[in-house]
Structure 1
Amino acid sequence: MKVALLGAGHIGQTIARLLHGSGDYQVTVMDRNAQALALLAKEGIGTQQVNTEHQPALAAALRGQQTVVNALPYHLAIPAAHMALEAGCHYFDLTEDVAATKEIKRIAEGAKTAFMPQCGLAPGFIGIVAHHLAKRFDELHDVKMRVGALPAFPTNALKYNLTWSVDGLINEYCHPCEAIHDGAPISALPLEGLEHFSLDGVEYEAFNTSGGLGTLCETWSGQVRNLDYKTVRYPGHRDLMMLLLDDLQLKNDQQTLKDIMRRSMPATMQDVVLVFVTVSGMKNGTLMQEVFARKIFAQREGEQPLSAIQITTAAGICAAVDLFREGRLPQKGFIRQEQVALPDFLANRFGQAYQQSRQVESIG
């Protein structure tokens, strides 16, 4: 399969190496950063310098490709999807942006090719897990999805290091959050709904953020009492972010906040991804709860050390593309994450990254 991979950042490079290394994909990485492309070219991976924000240039580059894998910032998802449609390509991305996903769903209506956004960790794998658990219940009460990409060794007041896109981070902190409460769809405020919990002897907090539950509200509408998604951080992070975004009004000057974070907050490759899903309801007349909880750690060995967020995000989208290639997913139109069977995902050669993690508590 010929794949045009848009974006040669940390996640894009990981995706490129996984797909190229499998031997089943002819990958061409497209980016305007010549230095990043040169690193991949040395490894025998196809590259093409393209201004991915210039639609005519991108449209020309996509001609002759079969599949577009988009690892660009979230604000480029809609134009990239339009260009994929124009080129007659299948389309996969990592976006957590709700508005982008709704537009991509509209683009996919009547399309002869497939469009599958939200293929990362959250949205992505977390929705696959939640849907898998939810289907086991006769009557569904509560679905709680919690995900955190955290530094293994927090040292600053925010107890946070940059582990992924600053643009994506601030976007999910500033936009309304879809949820279902008492059977009705609601729009919750970001950073609200604070809760605390312990897992594996570590204290965490969780709060509302936008986009993580993907299309599950629509899928389970009218069938669940409560469904929500929250981001996990170490205790104290939420209060300081509210100070920055609300009290100091940086939500109205997001570029300044992003500049501050990039300048003052170190990135880290030593991170841990926490996945925690609880589902409760009735089974055979008994109130039951099922839990899926895992921690995925960075891989420090090898020529290219990988952060946990690189591992989990790249595994998500590569597994989706691979399952699609194998015919295990619909071959045209809009594809939801919950259409991926969890056993298929975990058995996939890329999805096995989640199997190799330390299982705090899990079910198959």
Structure 2
Amino acid sequence: MRNVAIVGAGKIGSTIADMLVDSGDYRVIVFDRAPERLAELNRRDGVEGVMIDIGAPGVLEEALRGQFAVMSAAPFHLTGRIAEAAVAAGVHYLDLTEDVASTRHVKDLARQARTALIPQCGLAPGFITIIANDMAKGFDTLHDVRMRVGALPQFPSNALNYNLTWSTDGVINEYCEPCEAIVNGVAREMPPLEEREEFSIDGILYEAFNTSGGLGTLCETLQGKVRNLNYRTIRYPGHAAIMKALLQDLRLAERRDVLKDILENALPSTLQDVVIVFVTVTGLKKGRLVQETYANKLYGREVGGSFHSAIQVTTAAGITAVLDLLSDGALPGRGLVRQEDITLAAFLGNRFGRAYAMA
């Protein structure tokens, strides 16, 4: 049985803990600074919740001694601190971040690490990267790779057509930071909330627009191999226009704490959500121009005796599947491991990865 630590006892961290404990193969300890969250976790068999200040020198490093791995389910701005502690303690490290700067720091740390550092193990980046890379491998010549993901309420009921289903800090960050892309063969940074498009799935109209971080390391991997590569977040129509007004016209991009307070006090959370994964790859196969599309809708389900939302399940399934593959020796045990290094067959064949199975 493996000892695993989770930093962050929020919606995603608690779902990860439930999945790992249910498997019967992991002992789980969860670190957080919120006593009410830890009290809830401590009522569950097989999970120990411990309150620590991860910012205090040496505290997290000492707490990680004897663990097989640490999984970061904390806000993106803590990613670097947790990765540093993992390297110092000599334990494997996995995270869910979409923050580009944090991932670059993890990549730098991985050069000297004695253990595996695996960033971006969630939904996007994460599973979206694995599926897009797998599809791209089937082409002789790549033209376009378009990746679209959204976590949306099934029953939108406000002007934003949105409910809080994910980290508020994370959503604001991806709406504000530059977006990596490859355009006509050249790696570029694109502005967020731009290049809006509309499309339909099952008769429902959606919009998609640039957001930061969803490509993971795929820009670097496919540089020189693809003409166009981009990632956009899916929302219901009208969302992007309102967010641009808030962030740009009202300049709340410069006052993110204010915007966070507004969103968390105005938008309710919901467990009735749907995760949409939509990937289109175009290129040449045996001299013919071919387009292939992957489209999937995923919904919430019961884990550990309680119902979890679609974004909780898909995000937690991503990182637990990667942990399982690492534990089984199917992934390198040292240095940086990218999501593209994970085969789709191995991911979907994993007991946790099967949460992404097509309906």
Change (3 A) 1:144 1:33: same
**Alignment-mate amino acid for residue 179 of structure 1:** A
Q: CA deviation at 1:300?
A: 6.4
Partners of 1:299 and 1:21 lie apart in 2 by 14
Task: Report the counterpart of residue 236 of structure 1 in structure 2.
Answer: 238
Task: Report the counterpart of residue 251 of structure 1 in structure 2.
Answer: 253
In structure 2, the gaps of 5 or more residues are: none
**Alignment-mate amino acid for residue 6 of structure 2:** L
Task: Report the counterpart of residue 8 of structure 2 in structure 1.
Answer: 7
8 Å CA contact 1:55, 1:83 repeated in 2 = no
Q: CA deviation at 1:111?
A: 1.5
Q: CA deviation at 1:37?
A: 1.7
Name which of 254, 265, 278 aligns with 2:280. Answer: 278
Task: Report the counterpart of residue 116 of structure 2 in structure 1.
Answer: 114
Q: CA deviation at 1:55?
A: 4.0
8 Å CA contact 1:274, 1:296 repeated in 2 = yes
Q: CA deviation at 1:170?
A: 0.2
Deviations 1:128-155 (A, max 9, x none): 0000000000000000000000000000
8 Å CA contact 1:143, 1:226 repeated in 2 = yes
Partners of 1:315 and 1:302 lie apart in 2 by 13
Deviations 1:306-334 (A, max 9, x none): 10000100000000000111111111100
Runs of 4+ in 1 over 6 A off after TM superposition: none
> Any idea what SS the aligned residue of 1:275 has?
strand
> Any idea what SS the aligned residue of 1:29 has?
strand
| TM-score normalised according to structure 2 size | 0.97
Partners of 1:243 and 1:100 lie apart in 2 by 27
Task: Report the counterpart of residue 38 of structure 1 in structure 2.
Answer: 39
> Any idea what SS the aligned residue of 2:260 has?
helix
Partners of 1:121 and 1:90 lie apart in 2 by 20
Task: Report the counterpart of residue 223 of structure 1 in structure 2.
Answer: 225
Partners of 2:341 and 2:14 lie apart in 1 by 27
Partners of 2:268 and 2:34 lie apart in 1 by 22
Partners of 1:297 and 1:64 lie apart in 2 by 36
> Any idea what SS the aligned residue of 1:291 has?
strand
8 Å CA contact 2:271, 2:308 repeated in 1 = yes
Q: CA deviation at 1:66?
A: 2.0
Task: Report the counterpart of residue 29 of structure 2 in structure 1.
Answer: 28
Task: Report the counterpart of residue 203 of structure 1 in structure 2.
Answer: 205
> Any idea what SS the aligned residue of 1:231 has?
strand
Structure 2 residue 86 is matched with structure 1 residue 84? yes
Q: How does 1:168-187 map to 2 (within 5 A)?
A: 168-187=170-189
> Any idea what SS the aligned residue of 2:237 has?
coil
> Any idea what SS the aligned residue of 2:82 has?
helix
Residues 133-142 or 55-64, more deviating:
55-64
Change (3 A) 1:302 1:270: farther
Task: Report the counterpart of residue 58 of structure 1 in structure 2.
Answer: 60
Residues 325-334 or 313-322, more deviating:
325-334
**Alignment-mate amino acid for residue 211 of structure 1:** G
Partners of 2:156 and 2:27 lie apart in 1 by 39
Task: Report the counterpart of residue 362 of structure 1 in structure 2.
Answer: none
Residues 39-48 or 245-254, more deviating:
39-48
Deviations 1:183-227 (A, max 9, x none): 000100000011000011110000000000100000000000000
Partners of 1:299 and 1:3 lie apart in 2 by 24
Q: How does 1:251-330 map to 2 (within 5 A)?
A: 251-299=253-301, 303-330=305-332
8 Å CA contact 2:95, 2:119 repeated in 1 = yes
> Any idea what SS the aligned residue of 1:92 has?
strand
Task: Report the counterpart of residue 161 of structure 2 in structure 1.
Answer: 159
8 Å CA contact 1:181, 1:226 repeated in 2 = yes
Partners of 1:61 and 1:53 lie apart in 2 by 12
Change (3 A) 1:99 1:302: closer
Change (3 A) 1:151 1:300: farther
What is the count of residue pairs matched by the alignment? 357
Partners of 2:93 and 2:130 lie apart in 1 by 19
Partners of 2:306 and 2:236 lie apart in 1 by 28
8 Å CA contact 2:15, 2:303 repeated in 1 = no
Q: CA deviation at 1:58?
A: 1.4
Deviations 1:60-110 (A, max 9, x none): 211222211111000000010000000001000000000000010000003
Deviations 1:213-266 (A, max 9, x none): 100000000000000000000001000100001111111111111100011111
Task: Report the counterpart of residue 136 of structure 1 in structure 2.
Answer: 138
> Any idea what SS the aligned residue of 1:305 has?
strand
Deviations 1:266-314 (A, max 9, x none): 1111100000000010001110011111000122698411100001000
Partners of 2:140 and 2:248 lie apart in 1 by 42
Residues 38-47 or 341-350, more deviating:
38-47
What's the Cα RMSD here? 1.2
**Alignment-mate amino acid for residue 43 of structure 2:** K
Q: CA deviation at 1:47?
A: 2.4
> Any idea what SS the aligned residue of 2:276 has?
strand
> Any idea what SS the aligned residue of 2:308 has?
coil
Q: CA deviation at 1:38?
A: 2.1
8 Å CA contact 1:55, 1:79 repeated in 2 = no
